[in-house]
Chains A and B, each alone.
Chain A
Amino acid sequence: MSQAVYIVSSIRTPVGKAGGVFKNVRPDDLLGFVLKSLLVDNPSVDPSMIDDVIIGCAMPEAEQGLNVARISSLLANYPYSVSGVTVNRFCASGLQSIAYAADRIRLGEAEVMVAGGVESMSMIPMMGHHPAFNIKVFNEDNIGIAYGMGTTAEQVVKKYKIDRDSQDQFAFDSHQKAINAINEGYFKDEIKPYKVISKTYDLKIKNILEKSSLVSQDEGIRFDTSAKQLSNLKAAFHINGSVTAGNSSQMSDGAGAVMLCSEKALKLFDLTPMARFVGYAVSGVDPKIMGIGPVLAIPKVLTQCGLKQHEIGHIELNEAFAAQSLAVIQELGLDPKAVNPLGGAIALGHPLGATGSIRTATLLHHLKRTNTHYGMVTMCVGSGMGAAGIFEAL
């Protein structure tokens, strides 16, 4: 007999472009800020009642290494007694952390959990600072592991016959939907503006120059892009390919986190839940076509939860590439209108391990806003996986 899991807060930082507004902001600071904000938003919660902090990160090394979950918790002044663990399922890390946290509560072994995700692609490149492939990958025909994400997207294009125009249109729509969402102020509730303080030596004044600026909006959206501009970009991963920098997700920096509670904790701290965690599933596919992962994960989680696809009114499908997003929509017959109504990673950015938590925030706030019952966060995952989680708005 498992107990219900409620989400009382789901927040995030704005998402910066790699090399952009957060290029000198450490990911453990970004995460620490989000963790702290959770406590600020929920003053009735006794922090020492948090059982564990589970954080997803896709390249957990250097500035986001050494168990960033624990480090950021301490930086956020969580009590020593609150432990922390970092998990890695690449792009699903920030959703996986929520699922693991929910499971602790479902089992009845925790009453309050914090889960989230963080990634600075400005500081830690894709594949990390020190890639080290296993030679067996090449000698034993596991070559898909060596495929770059863009290469897998071209494989999806080939296999699922996705044309260039559809990809560019999808990318264009992503930006337009994101622009609309910004204009409507849809992201205001989920984003916690981050104050960037820079300290540099100024050659003109011959002294240290301290500057601060408040970042409150996602940086990646191109307000002036056009379908024409997108169609002029060169294919990046195949000489005659169709996957371009414009119809792929952006490299980004950001963090997001949720606070999860049992029913007991809700009563104890007098909390109003925004959603209920319903279920989560992952599945593996051929690494060569990793982008297709959600095609297996989505039906799997629906079956688990006893729900039908049409019952999910809002799907946050991570736009790793327009090509794989279109292939997933096509293969499962998803309702395009239900997918990413506020834009996706092509416009909003994709800070790998943080994305799951960030898009959960977007989903939960928008479910409430639109009175939609069920929502889903789903994504494809490097080396060939798909993940999907279902939430119910309350």
Chain B
Amino acid sequence: MKISHVGILGSGVMGAQIAAVFANANIPTLLFGKEAHVEDNLNNISSFKPKALTHPDQQSWITAASFENDLNQLSSCDFVIEAIIEDVDAKQDLFAKILPYLSTNVILATNTSSLSVDQIGKNLGDFQSQFCGIHFFNPPRYMSLVELISTEKTKPDLLNQLEGFFTSELGKNILYANDEPGFVANRIGVFSIAACIHHADRLALDFDTVDALTGTKLKRPKSATFRTADLVGLDILKHVFDQFDQVLSDDPWHAYFKTPQWLENLLKQHALGEKTKAGIYKKEDGEIRVYQTESQNYNKANYEIEASVKSILKTDISCWITALRSNQHPQSQFLYSVIKDTCLYGAYHLQTIAHSARDIDWALHWGFGWEVGIFELWQANGVQASLALFLQDDADVSIPNWINGVTDFYTDKGAYSPSEDDYTPYSKHAVYDRQLHRPTLIGESKHGQGVTIFENDSVKFFHENDGIAIFSLKTKLHTLNLEVIDSLKQAIAISEQEFKAMIIWQDSTPFCAGANLYEIVAGAKLGMIDHQNLYTKFKKKAWQLLKPKLPNIDNLKPINEVIELLQRVLMSLKYSKIPIVAAVEGMALGGGCEMMLHCDRRVVHAESYIGLVEIGVGLLPAGGGCKEMARRAAKHKDLFPTLAQYFEQIGLAKVSESAQLAVDMGYLDQQDVIVVQRLELLYFAKQQAQIMIDEQYRPEDASQTFKVGGATAKANILAQLTNMRTGDFISEHDDFIARKIADVLCGGEVDANTEVENQYLLDLEKNHFIELLKLEKTQDRIEHMLIKHKPLRN
């Protein structure tokens, strides 16, 4: 059955955002709220931050309806989700009220993060078999995890059907959870926060120290523990703690769920976290301050991470447990204790809350952004060896019986399931057939490897016996370095000889964050901008002494040669004999955007953030990005309005907030395909490649000329810039760079509508790029980005 009309009951923060998830997928959605607020509720959907809608136009899929007057419209819905306040009685009452209006085949669901689904649905009568629980994470557009919870009465194929729908049509990652408090993700994730609070208190560590320890260093999100708590809302955290405290009285770790006094104090001050602009952290005078439990004031963050702890976290995760345990520093003991508790907690409750170890680990990956789940980490350190250490420290700790016989949580056969006492393979649901490289956990065998054509430190080039070659980057954030560019050139040449098509695809997000800035600034600082001979050992040594933070430099080429090479390679993406498809997800910035623009087609995940952002580092797009945008503008009869828009985008380093918005920005065109499920990208990329093969693809004529705006268009842009600069809205350097961008986009100061060729604009790009790179202010911007990871306004 195809779900074609959805009803969302409740238009609060969750209800409205869930409605937006369906609207983003072009599904007509009725959003029910109180009569008095119906219109406001609709308008609020466009004001969520981060944005709930992928494009303002998507709102038209949502129709506001009122509980008082419009319940009869529910009969048109084949899927109804209740998302009102977390109160069993209120939810039951609402269901009782709507039952008479439902169509007989409707799928009914309650969205809850903490209540018993069974309880909520107990009075549903015949509808009980069509009823289940859904747990969306907040914000639902951006959080991929959705937990589905069946009751004893839920008919067996209901969740199966929803799994297919949520996965493919809404792009979500589905986990089945048992009807237990907190389901899977929150049960373990919130416990981890509780364990951090417990051990931080025991070892007298400050909030900011804990966050520094439990963030990216521990392969978890930057927001770590307490910043995450602020984002979630401290009132909500307390609510979950209270609920666990109440219903988990038999839990051996029950004491951890007691709300600490400092949290009570903060709540009393109405410091609820991000939403009240004060919580555990607070921004004051442009500076982040952290709450002090004793003085109840906010002080400047002042943590220091012990060097020995830092170096342990830099080693392979398989050494962490032993090394952290043996280091007596409180920070090390803290991490060890938190890891130990969370591992044991997960193991102890696994059989009750989930089917296999995999469910918990994926819940942590998808729901909490952890890169390594608890069972992955535990197994990497040795299941029995680590258990022995845990028991040495805590002989009375509760452990499940099954664990004594288990040497691995993950094997080639699958993930360990205590209820089966065996390893359970991945779901064979047909929806996963499109996930060609479905991700796996550490210890599991990988899905789909392909046949390697060549591989080096920066790229992997392979195929899967279907005549289509796949080019994947291995660099950090998939940036473009010299090796990538050289490899891409080679890959295109091989593909033209031996394959029918080529795809640029990454096996993890993002598509490409841009050019490797380190190589660029190193080349500039060493005087290798347009000559090799200015490079001296003395300069190299002096610069490395000055910038010890930056990595080693070797095999650099003069920048002008690199730019020429990049331009040639990207041009050959576009004009090669075979079709080349870019499979884009996440960031496609700067050089990454240019690489994408030069492909013959783009298959793009709905959550893609695309932009030519070079001005942020004092440069302009010189890999054909300006040239491509000028060409695209030239397709319009009156090219200037489009050109002005493209100029503004590049001049202000604008990034699309979704794939749909990238279409408006001219980075994607009508033929490009937007994909909702990121794991289906390669499937659709291959499909598009095959379509182009079948259509007997021929490249465009590379010598085809196009018109440019010339002197008048440039003057119009300069007029805008003059006002922005005079009003001090942009810096002198911004103005200088923007004028260079304008010059390229307009084709210099030629007559309006002059026909030019590709190479003319590419040369303008290159020359301006080189000129900018020689400026100290540009070099400062690049270094600032490398060291501080944010743009410098100078």
Contact = CB atoms under 8 A, between A and B. Distances in A.
A138 B738 CA distance: 14
Interface stretch (A12-20, A49-57, A140-148): A140-148
Interface string B687-721: 00000000000000000000000011011101100
Interface residues of A, number: 21
Interface string A322-357: 000000000000000000000000000000000000
B723 A131 contact: no
B723 A147 contact: yes
Interface stretch (B38-46, B602-610, B725-733): B725-733
B723 A151 contact: yes
A131 B719 contact: yes
A148 B727 CA distance: 10
Contacts of B180: none
B722 interface: yes
A154 interface: yes
A384 to B, nearest CB: 15
Interface of B is mostly: helix
B638 interface: yes
Contacts of B727: 150-151, 154, 237-239, 241
B640 interface: yes
B206 interface: no
Nearest to A155: B726
Interface in A118-153: 130-135, 137-138, 143, 146-148, 150-151
Interface centre among B640, B715, B728, B729 (most CB of A within 10 A): B715
B723 A148 contact: yes
B640 A133 contact: no
A137 B726 CA distance: 15
A155 B722 CA distance: 13
B715 A130 contact: no
A207 interface: no
Contacts of A131: 716, 719
B780 interface: no
A234 to B, nearest CB: 12
A133 B715 contact: yes
B716 A147 contact: no
A2 interface: no
Nearest to B714: A135
Nearest to B746: A135
B728 A135 contact: no
A240 interface: yes
A148 B722 CA distance: 9
B640 A130 contact: yes
B444 interface: no
B749 interface: yes
A146 B739 CA distance: 15
B729 A146 contact: no
Contacts of B715: 132-135, 137-138, 146
Contacts of A239: 727-729
A373 to B, nearest CB: 43
B700 to A, nearest CB: 30
Contacts of B749: 135
Contacts of A134: 712, 715
B718 A133 contact: yes
Given A130-B638, A130-B640, A238 B722 contact: no
Contacts of B726: 147, 151, 154-155, 238
Contacts of B722: 138, 143, 146-147, 151
Nearest to A144: B722
Given A133-B718, A146-B723, A240 B728 contact: yes
B732 to A, nearest CB: 14
Nearest to B727: A238
A137 B720 CA distance: 13
B412 to A, nearest CB: 60
A233 to B, nearest CB: 15
B724 to A, nearest CB: 9
Nearest to A145: B719
Contact of B716 (A133, A150, A237, A241): A133
Interface string A77-109: 000000000000000000000000000000000
Contacts of A155: 726
B374 to A, nearest CB: 50
Nearest to A137: B715
Interface in B741-757: 749
Contacts of A132: 712, 715-716
A138 B728 contact: no
Contacts of A130: 638, 640
Contact of B712 (A133, A148, A240): A133
Contact of A238 (B638, B712, B714, B728): B728
A347 to B, nearest CB: 25
A237 B726 CA distance: 9
Nearest to B644: A131
Contacts of B729: 238-239
A147 B721 CA distance: 10
B542 to A, nearest CB: 39
B761 to A, nearest CB: 18
A366 B728 CA distance: 43
Contacts of A133: 712, 715-716, 718-719
Contacts of A240: 728
Interface string A297-316: 00000000000000000000
Nearest to B730: A239
B742 to A, nearest CB: 10
A154 B723 CA distance: 11
A129 B244 CA distance: 64
Interface in B591-618: none
B793 to A, nearest CB: 12
Interface string A226-267: 000000000001111100000000000000000000000000
B723 A135 contact: no
B689 to A, nearest CB: 42
Nearest to A132: B712
Contacts of B714: 135
Interface centre among A137, A138, A238 (most CB of B within 10 A): A138
Contacts of A238: 726-729
Interface string B633-668: 000001010000000000000000000000000000
Nearest to B715: A133
Contacts of A138: 715, 718, 722
A158 to B, nearest CB: 10
A135 B743 CA distance: 12
Contacts of B718: 133, 135, 137-138, 146
A361 B715 CA distance: 39
Nearest to B722: A146
Contacts of A135: 711-712, 714-715, 718, 749
Contacts of A148: 723
B108 to A, nearest CB: 32
Interface centre among B711, B712, B722, B728 (most CB of A within 10 A): B722
Interface in A152-189: 154-155
Nearest to A146: B719
B293 to A, nearest CB: 38
Contacts of B712: 132-135
A151 B729 CA distance: 12
In the A-B complex, the 10 residue pairs with the smallest Cβ-Cβ separation, listed nearest first, are A133-B715, A146-B719, A135-B711, A238-B727, A135-B715, A239-B728, A146-B722, A148-B723, A132-B712, A138-B718
30 contacts: A131-B716, A131-B719, A132-B712, A132-B716, A133-B715, A133-B716, A134-B712, A134-B715, A135-B711, A135-B712, A135-B715, A135-B718, A137-B715, A137-B719, A138-B718, A138-B722, A146-B715, A146-B718, A146-B719, A147-B726, A150-B727, A151-B723, A151-B726, A151-B727, A154-B726, A237-B727, A238-B727, A238-B729, A239-B727, A239-B729
Given A135-B715, A237-B727, 16 more contacts: A130-B638, A132-B716, A133-B712, A135-B712, A135-B749, A138-B715, A143-B722, A146-B719, A147-B722, A150-B723, A150-B727, A151-B722, A151-B726, A154-B727, A238-B728, A241-B727
